[in-house]
């Protein structure tokens, strides 16, 4: 029960520091010169938008099959092996073709089996009963690619949303192919939906100059529609990608100095610069299409070789469209399109009602606990209430320090933490009562009561701590918010119960030296 001056100052210093960290949450505009940290309100308290988006796995598989078909065509031509009718079947996950000569079938299989695989055992090469040769994607490879695509999509979605200035968005995986996006403070998510619903897969491909191919495209050429239908019909564009948009290093919205209209400037890394230079050197006078999400934005004629790795896209943009396109190009292309499965909006008024309800429940619960402790334990009950208030302050301080997001489940966790803290104080006071009933002196009763209660309090809180850590690690959304406040509350409960309340009792005893204890 002895508290040195250093120990006394340390306990009080922690409490004062916690109070100081709490203050910014009650200020509208904290002092800008001081790096204040505040708690962010979640979607259910602040209002905002909820989007449940699904990754189009069929499109992902189809794109991989198209790439595999192109690799098959190039490999066979380089190996001087003929083929007929390369066909992509997305339903069966196969790329098949007819060999030029049945005698070359085994050679075809051996050659194509050496194609690089994105994941181990991604596909197998087989001879079919009808004489065709098929490259078959395995189900395990498709699942692995889907998991990778969702993880990649989450990171790209996060970069795009961060670029809009949204504060504290929550982006999590749901199931195998879905992503949950929560945007506190954004009640009109149309711009966000447009940003996330655009794959932003940009490629640079040559246009086939043969006029007949504009009606009857040969293999390796596709009719790609114009982004602006007023500019004409589809263009025959080669399937081969000369320069990939993944080689872009930067993009920004600018005003074209010649036309005065908004445009998007871009620059390539060293790989893209070399590829851009090579294609423009060897194809002067030909049209070079800029294709975004399978639509031609523009197809200018190559006048001179482009050596700097820089370019500019014009297409009748306004300021918002140019800014959004530049943002999507900087964030990178999604591996597959995202579709909105569910959308909900929570107005600020509903969020304000939730805040009032949460604060009211927290205040009433705290008041009832205070009254209970005073009625049953007198002066020691008051000390327990002071420790309880300090516990609440420290919880808010730690949440502020880490700029955590507070939700309604989080407020429920804070209320539950106060109940757990009261349990610890009740256990201590009951232990002290038992020791007084056994005839111990006041000081011995307090000392023994704390000693015997401490191990029980630590054991019970340790098991609860581990359980809620697992909830935080494996949970999502509201479950993590609840687990976070409980986990922090357990740590503050141990501090306030075993150090602060004991210090208050010890200082009171040292000052008054009572003949009996008020329990």
Shared domain for 169 and 214, answered yes or no, is: no
d(CA 11, CA 305): 72
Shared domain for 61 and 125, answered yes or no, is: yes
Shared domain for 365 and 502, answered yes or no, is: yes
Shared domain for 74 and 165, answered yes or no, is: yes
Residue 342 located in a structural domain:
no
pLDDT at 340 over 60: yes
Of 465, 383, 387, residue with least CA distance to 432: 383
pLDDT digits (tens, 9 = 90+) for 183-212: 887 766 777 777 787 777 888 899 998 888
pLDDT digits (tens, 9 = 90+) for 311-325: 777 767 788 878 887
pLDDT digits (tens, 9 = 90+) for 280-314: 888 888 888 888 888 888 888 888 887 777 877 77
- More confidently predicted of 325 and 384: 384
Q: Is the dihedral of CA 18, 20, 25, 31 positive or negative?
A: negative
Q: Which helix (H) or strand (E) holds 454?
A: helix 442-474
Residue 192 located in a structural domain:
no
Shared domain for 391 and 499, answered yes or no, is: yes
262 in Cβ contact with 255 (< 8 Å): yes
- Measured from the Cβ of residue 287, the count of other Cβ atoms closer than 10 Å reads 18
| pLDDT given for residue 152 in this prediction | 83
pLDDT digits (tens, 9 = 90+) for 232-284: 888 999 988 888 877 788 888 888 777 778 888 888 888 888 888 888 888 88
Average of per-residue pLDDT values in the chain = 83
Shared domain for 107 and 22, answered yes or no, is: no
| pLDDT given for residue 477 in this prediction | 67
337 in Cβ contact with 257 (< 8 Å): no
Shared domain for 258 and 324, answered yes or no, is: yes
d(CA 9, CA 44): 40
d(CA 109, CA 217): 28
Q: What are phi and psi of 222, to 5 degrees?
A: -125, 150
Range of lowest pLDDT (64-68, 188-192, 491-495): 188-192
Of 331, 292, 358, 24, residue with least CA distance to 171: 331
Tell me the sheet residues that pair with 342: 52
Q: What are phi and psi of 202, to 5 degrees?
A: -105, 135
Residue 517 located in a structural domain:
no
Residue 422 located in a structural domain:
yes
| pLDDT given for residue 71 in this prediction | 84
| pLDDT given for residue 394 in this prediction | 93
End-to-end CA separation in angstroms for the chain = 17
Shared domain for 366 and 246, answered yes or no, is: no
Structure token pair of residue 189: 């998510």
| pLDDT given for residue 262 in this prediction | 85
pLDDT at 492 over 90: yes
Shared domain for 387 and 506, answered yes or no, is: yes
Shared domain for 269 and 375, answered yes or no, is: no
Mean pLDDT in residue range 479-506 = 89
d(CA 123, CA 117): 7
Total structural domains within the chain:
3
Q: Is the dihedral of CA 27, 28, 33, 37 positive or negative?
A: positive
Long-range contact set of residues 464-468: C-beta below 8 Å, sequence gap at least 24 = 464/420, 464/490, 465/490, 465/491
d(CA 46, CA 515): 54
Burial class (CB in 10 A: 0-12, 13-18, 19+), 469: middle
d(CA 342, CA 125): 40
Shared domain for 371 and 506, answered yes or no, is: yes
Q: Which helix (H) or strand (E) holds 19?
A: helix 5-22
Residue that is last in its domain, among 304, 334, 364: 334
299 in Cβ contact with 207 (< 8 Å): yes
pLDDT at 355 over 90: no
Query: Residue 12 belongs to what domain range?
Result: 5-45+347-512
> What pLDDT band is residue 31 in, cutting at 50, 70 and 90?
low
Shared domain for 34 and 88, answered yes or no, is: no
Mean pLDDT in residue range 482-502 = 91
CATH number at residue 265: 3.30.1360.200
292 in Cβ contact with 227 (< 8 Å): yes
| pLDDT given for residue 188 in this prediction | 64
* 334 DSSP assignment: -
Tell me the sheet residues that pair with 174: 178
User: How does strand 40-41 pair with strand 405-406?
Assistant: parallel
Q: Which helix (H) or strand (E) holds 480?
A: helix 478-495
Residue 339 located in a structural domain:
no
pLDDT digits (tens, 9 = 90+) for 101-135: 888 888 888 888 888 887 778 888 888 888 888 88
CATH number at residue 421: 1.20.1640.10
| pLDDT given for residue 200 in this prediction | 76
| pLDDT given for residue 493 in this prediction | 92
Burial class (CB in 10 A: 0-12, 13-18, 19+), 126: middle
pLDDT at 427 over 80: yes
Supply the DSSP string of 28-88, one letter for each residue: SS--TTS----PEE-HHHH-EEEEEEEE-HHHHHHHHHHHHHHHHHHHHHHTT--EEEEEE
């Amino acid at each position: 029960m002895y508290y040195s001056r250093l120990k006394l100052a340390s306990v009080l210093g922690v409490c004062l520091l916690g109070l100081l960290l709490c203050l910014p949450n009650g200020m509208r505009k904290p002092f800008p010169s001081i790096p204040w940290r505040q708690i962010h309100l979640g979607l259910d308290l602040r209002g905002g938008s909820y989007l449940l988006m699904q990754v189009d796995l069929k499109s992902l598989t189809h794109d991989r099959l198209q790439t595999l078909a192109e690799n098959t065509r190039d490999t066979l031509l380089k190996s001087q092996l003929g083929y007929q009718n390369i066909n992509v079947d997305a339903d069966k996950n196969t790329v098949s073709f007819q060999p030029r000569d049945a005698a070359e079938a085994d050679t075809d299989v051996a050659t194509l089996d050496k194609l690089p695989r994105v994941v181990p055992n991604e596909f197998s090469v087989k001879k079919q009963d009808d004489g065709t040769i098929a490259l078959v994607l395995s189900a395990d490879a498709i699942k692995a690619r889907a998991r990778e695509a969702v993880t990649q999509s989450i990171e790209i979605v996060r970069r795009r949303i961060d670029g809009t200035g949204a504060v504290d968005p929550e982006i999590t995986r749901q199931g195998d192919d879905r992503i949950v996006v929560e945007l506190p403070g954004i009640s009109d998510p149309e711009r966000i939906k447009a940003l996330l619903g655009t794959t932003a897969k940009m490629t640079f491909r040559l246009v086939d100059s043969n006029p007949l191919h504009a009606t009857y495209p040969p293999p390796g050429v596709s009719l790609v529609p114009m982004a602006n239908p007023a500019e004409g019909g589809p263009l025959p564009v080669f399937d081969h990608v000369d320069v990939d948009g993944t080689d872009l290093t930067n993009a920004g919205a600018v005003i074209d100095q010649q036309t005065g209209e908004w445009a998007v400037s871009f620059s390539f890394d060293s790989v893209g610069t070399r590829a851009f230079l090579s294609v423009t050197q060897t194809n002067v006078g030909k049209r070079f299409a800029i294709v975004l999400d399978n639509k031609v934005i523009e197809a200018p004629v190559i006048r001179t070789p482009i050596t700097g790795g820089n370019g500019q896209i014009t297409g009748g943009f306004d300021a918002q469209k140019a800014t959004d396109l530049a943002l999507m190009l900087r964030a990178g292309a999604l591996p597959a399109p995202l579709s909105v499965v569910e959308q909900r909006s929570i107005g600020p008024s509903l969020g304000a009602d939730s805040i009032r309800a949460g604060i009211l429940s927290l205040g009433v619960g705290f008041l009832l606990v205070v009254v209970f402790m005073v009625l049953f334990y007198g002066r020691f009950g008051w000390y327990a209430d002071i420790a309880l208030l300090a516990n609440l302050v420290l919880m808010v301080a730690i949440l502020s320090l880490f700029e955590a997001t507070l939700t309604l489940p989080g407020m429920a966790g804070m209320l539950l933490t106060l109940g757990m803290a009261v349990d610890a104080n009740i256990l201590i006071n009951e232990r002290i009562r038992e020791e007084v009933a056994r005839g111990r002196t006041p000081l011995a009763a307090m000392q023994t009561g704390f000693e015997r209660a401490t191990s029980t309090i630590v054991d019970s809180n340790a098991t609860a701590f581990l359980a809620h850590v697992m909830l935080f690690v494996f949970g999502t959304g509201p479950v993590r918010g609840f687990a976070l406040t409980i986990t922090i509350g357990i740590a503050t409960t141990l501090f306030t119960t075993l150090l602060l309340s004991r210090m208050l009792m010890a200082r009171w005893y040292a000052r008054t030296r009572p003949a009996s204890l008020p329990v």
